[in-house]
Structure 1
């Protein structure tokens, strides 16, 4: 039974590859037809994967993910602006700190250690 599942997965991958190959075999001026080849290959691969254990597991996972995403409590507009302001403030303070450290090290090495400032 396991080998049949693997064969289905390999067939699905082959269908996707055939769709991509069809895209490159279509003349350059017919991009819609090339895109259609890829779309048909992906849809056909999806249909084959639907009948595999791996495909069913993925569908169950996707359904559970949608249910979990619906449980998310999004912040209000006010909270979003407040957090954004805190982030910008932190970035500004960090930039000033990095500038101060850089200037201090430049002064230490160029003026004190190497004596180039004299």
Structure 2
């Protein structure tokens, strides 16, 4: 009995997701079909249809899992200790200095290797 109920819920979820997708596709089609009407009205209509599609999609198991994931993500973001402005500036300056130093080192190595190749080939030096 339980497997039958799960299969029924799965089919119902599939139907709900199909209806949500059909609403979105229909809303986008209607947005361009009614190009003669005000853009504001078309955008409001598209937003309303989109909200209805999201509301239908959230009634499925996948939609509930997605909503739970969003909530968990927001909770984790609140736990992050963000760097202060001073820490950000110091880190940025260190990165810029290291890029400059490594750029100079690579330029020196390139110049040395180019001079060596020119000497070996016999084209100047």
- TM-score under structure 2 length normalisation: 0.79
Q: Count matched residues.
A: 117
* 2:106 is equivalent to residue 98 of structure 1: yes
- Matched residue SS, 1:32: helix
**Number of the residue aligned with 1:113:** 120
- TM-score under structure 1 length normalisation: 0.83
Shift of the alpha carbon at 1:40?
A: 2.6
* Cα distance between partner residues in 2 of 1:26 and 1:105: 66
- 1:54-107 Cα deviation digits (max 9, x unpaired): 111111111111111111111122211111111111111121122223222322
Q: 1:21 pairs with 29, 34, 55, which one?
A: 29
Shift of the alpha carbon at 1:28?
A: 6.7
Do the aligned partners of residues 114 and 33 (structure 1) sit closer, same or farther apart at CA in structure 2, a change above 3 Å counting? farther
Conserved in 2, the CA contact under 8 Å of 1:20 and 1:38? yes
| CA RMSD, 1 decimal | 2.0
Unaligned runs of 5+ in 2: 1-7
* 2:110 is equivalent to residue 80 of structure 1: no
